[in-house]
Structure 1
């Protein structure tokens, strides 16, 4: 992935994903082979990735339970869902579910080498490997929508299937609130960029969320992990 154009810092941008792994070399090789992710070594020695268009980054972490039950679902865009499913199976992993959401539109869930369940979304045209979509489980969708509206400046809308949906602040990652799945214990954490972790933590608590991992107190670069009112685990990061 030459000439990666990293996006500018933006409050409300979904920017980073931590993926549980048993063997980081095996997991990173899987995602590089299937989705073409750029794999690199950070200055601290950790293996990191940039997605297929270089706008969402992340890393693999050990010592966390995998996201083995469908709950908070991160989806990756692919050119050909059938070919990608076959590549996943050939790599020794499995397809958990395939769902038709339109006459010619399909999504699928797969289990990666560590057992994490992630999604596939077919959209031909140059976005193969892009982290593109996030399903947030919610028993009370209106309540969950109001929580995220209070925390992040996401654009809230209705998608073409009548669901409450959102776009992050730069329109790179979209998503919806899903009543058909329940929050499940997960070590997979999706981070949203914020101007101030300390101020965002106050908003989270004031609107019914809870802090799982408190901020470190670094005034320049900081992060925290929180639980939303439905029990979904999410992260915030400050640069």
Structure 2
């Protein structure tokens, strides 16, 4: 884990109903690694921000008021294809918003995330 900066977001933890499936999905779709800390927690490596997944019965979803974790991609369509090939379910297809485009997906552990890309100039 990197040294924290004072008063800055340092670490994000996300729930998963199926920790093994979540880890396999993110490894395949995004190339992330994991360090297991017991059977109910895995820290993320190589994701750009420190964090982890924990075993939980309730996944994170924005419609329930959860925080939405948004990843960045230089190639949005290719990233969406990787998400689908790894077993993710597209919750909201690619759409435009001011400053870019994005899509939302559900990973196999049940949590919602999104991926965005800047609008080409």
Instruction: Select which of 2, 14, 17 maps to 2:9.
Output: 14
Unaligned runs of 5+ in 1: 1-5, 124-239
Instruction: Count how many residue pairs are aligned between Structure 1 and Structure 2.
Output: 114
Instruction: Select which of 48, 71, 76 maps to 1:81.
Output: 76
| Equivalent residue runs for 1:187-206 within 5 Å | none
CA distance in 1, matches of 2:87, 2:81: 10
Unaligned runs of 5+ in 2: none
| Equivalent residue runs for 1:1-239 within 5 Å | 7-42=2-37, 46-53=41-48, 56-70=49-63, 71=65, 72-97=67-92, 98-102=94-98, 105-122=100-117
Q: Measure how far apart 1:7 and its partner are.
A: 4.0
CA distance in 2, matches of 1:9, 1:93: 31
Cα separation, partners in 2 of 1:7 and 1:69, compared to 1, 3 Å = closer
User: Could you say what the CA RMSD is over the residues aligned between the two structures, in angstroms?
Assistant: 2.3
CA distance in 1, matches of 2:114, 2:97: 13
CA distance in 2, matches of 1:51, 1:64: 26
Higher relative contact order (CA 8 A, sep 6+): 2
User: Contact 1:35 / 1:78 at 8 angstroms: preserved in 2?
Assistant: no
TM-score by length of 1: 0.42
Q: Measure how far apart 1:91 and its partner are.
A: 2.2
Instruction: Render the CA deviation track for 1:61-87: whole Å, top value 9, x for unaligned.
Output: 223411134442110112211111112
